[in-house]
Structure 1
């Protein structure tokens, strides 16, 4: 044994790399079981900087995260079986009577309390490096699926007196090798690490949570199926999915969507479906995303300016194909994230397009966040949904500032600060298009600009990939999602609408969907409005 020790010493002395191998094989990452920290998450691709403060206790099975200095708070309370729990969300509400009043909502939550430091499985030790004059341990996670996706994590940590690793910086890069683009690039920075106070994890001590409202019942438990293991593993890799303790639930949801996509695409119905970032979402998560409600009266601030007879005459002079994207009137596709703000994105898209038509094609990037924060007095509720008619009423009264002046989109409900803006862009009015009229919709698009509509985004539409979408079952449920129509066309004798969505450019056809104009598909012709600038 002594001779073996001597050999190791001699080898290490003459080959430092050998010592590094020994060290890397013995080192393991170990997060503290309880912590309080501050930090910020920077999305390099979008420019969004999200400051946060987080608390976590494995023993108490509780966690909490505050965003933007406590403007929005999320308390998570795990149950004893560690499968389900409760979440309490505190956010400001602004309507016409009150400004920035804090409200607390109770929601069901799948899984135990959230450990915000994330999983460190399969991380490999990389040695040490200096960051801000401090020597830190470097850890790397790397996964490369040939011709598919490359995922890289770099983690910089130091050890505390108890032997736990404390994070300083975490960088995540995800590259789509199929099209050669960077899909995701985020940098999270951590500081002010300490032990949490139990009181900070107790939502009952938050004065805004004395009265809560239950949003839905717990989801039934789903059982794991082994026949989609390979497909699910590929999906997780391609879409950079990482789960804590709800992987079985996500896998069951994925399995149902995976089979539905395969079965649908075999039918050759004129449009195809695909697996996307929503293919493992729960119904509650999807409902939070699709949060536009139909208007009650379908009345504009001004009447539609054409009679039915005039519409039939005007439509004879219109081209068979009209696309405002070609005209340069439409801004790039945006992403509402997980916030149910589609009502804000769809109305803002219409106003941006109408303004561009009137000012010679100069695009304006207006702030959806201003509506999420401030339009509560117009049948809108921030990330919890809204109405198209109420959205236009808000813009008619208050206008919209640019994103540059108001601030970047937060994917959260923030404090309203519209009174601090130097300028806003208002509309003169808005008109409701006569319901169920394909020709009236075409005339409005060609003569006045983009049209905001409320549609039903069913499970098939959520998985849309390409083609002209037509699903008769789409009309079985009420409208639940706001989008903007920016043109029309005809293919193989079928009229269709060119629809701009707010789920990012990697959904559908570069963020768009072609929707059939047949039979009021998905209620598209029932709640249609356009702004007048």
Structure 2
């Protein structure tokens, strides 16, 4: 089947093709973040990086126009990721599978708290209070105790709408309201970056600990194991705000089992 493309499209395609060939001798293995600062030195290296990223994440675009559009978003996100990594020291951003999505596209696809759920009348609700807590361990990780089940967030569709939002009475929550991809591009470390407290995404807190003098909460997300630290993010635990980092302590709930 013949496919017709405009002269402009053909020229752009030829430019991309030649640029990738020109950079082939400069290819190197991805760093742990998916890029190296030198990759931003010229457009040829950025194109080569994008093509390598497309192959790595098995991206398929319907047309050349769509690919060029995704490349522009990729460049914008790459610039933001690199600028952020130069400013922060406790966490890192990287080129993950969301690097070709704009912030609005990411919010529409992966965020959006659903709150139109019937109230669970069979459970009692009481305000949490700190009592009878002595000699608490310095760290807790329920993953190591085999107590973290993927069904809690991913598959609890009866009350929690699977992976696309959920009622905050059934999961811990935080918000990704930064202007760019700060959270969606999270790679590793203890996140203490910019975010708001308007809840629109449910997650589960599965532990806590300390790294290099910085206390954190281990949070399990529902965006798959390729995101963050194999699907998890460590968020700063002690902040000056009672809402916690990114509203983590707002509308929090926990299950109890009757004996």
TM-score for the superposition, normalised by structure 1: 0.35
Shift of 1:277: 0.7
Compute the RMSD of aligned alpha carbons.
3.3
Shift of 1:267: 2.7
Kindly report which structure 2 residues correspond to 1:421-440, keeping only aligned pairs within 5 A, or say none.
none
Matched residue, 1:527: 251
Shift of 1:386: 3.2
The counterpart of 1:511, out of the listed 206, 231, 240, is 231
- 2:107 is paired with a residue whose SS is helix
Q: 1:465 to 1:381 in 2, by over 3 A?
A: closer
Please tell me whether residue 238 in structure 1 is matched to residue 53 in structure 2.
no
CA distance in 1, matches of 2:115, 2:199: 6
Q: 1:487 to 1:294 in 2, by over 3 A?
A: farther
Shift of 1:491: 2.1
Matched residue, 2:183: 461
Q: 1:305 to 1:230 in 2, by over 3 A?
A: closer
Matched residue, 1:388: 168
Shift of 1:226: 4.9
CA distance in 2, matches of 1:466, 1:508: 6
* Structure 1 segments unaligned to the other structure (5+ residues): 1-29, 34-144, 149-177, 179-224, 335-344, 350-366, 393-451
Matched residue, 2:17: none
* Structure 2 segments unaligned to the other structure (5+ residues): 4-26, 35-41
- Summarize deviations over 1:468-501 as a string: whole Å, max 9, x none: 0001x202x6122211101011123321001111
Q: 1:321 to 1:507 in 2, by over 3 A?
A: same
The counterpart of 1:474, out of the listed 195, 213, 220, is 195
CA distance in 2, matches of 1:318, 1:487: 12
Shift of 1:460: 0.8
Shift of 1:234: 1.8
Contact 1:489 1:497 in 2 (8 A): yes
Matched residue, 2:141: 323
Kindly report which structure 2 residues correspond to 1:12-411, keeping only aligned pairs within 5 A, or say none.
30=1, 226=43, 228-245=46-63, 246-282=66-102, 283-292=104-113, 301-304=124-127, 306=129, 308=130, 310=131, 314=133, 316-331=134-149, 348-349=152-153, 368=155, 371=157, 374-375=158-159, 385-389=165-169, 392=170
CA distance in 1, matches of 2:164, 2:54: 28
Rg (Cα) greater in structure: 1
Q: 1:146 to 1:454 in 2, by over 3 A?
A: same
Greater strand fraction, Structure 1 or Structure 2 = 1
Contact 1:294 1:480 in 2 (8 A): no
Contact 1:469 1:513 in 2 (8 A): yes
Matched residue, 1:200: none
How many aligned positions are there? 209
- 2:97 is paired with a residue whose SS is coil
Contact 2:165 2:201 in 1 (8 A): no
Contact 1:454 1:481 in 2 (8 A): yes
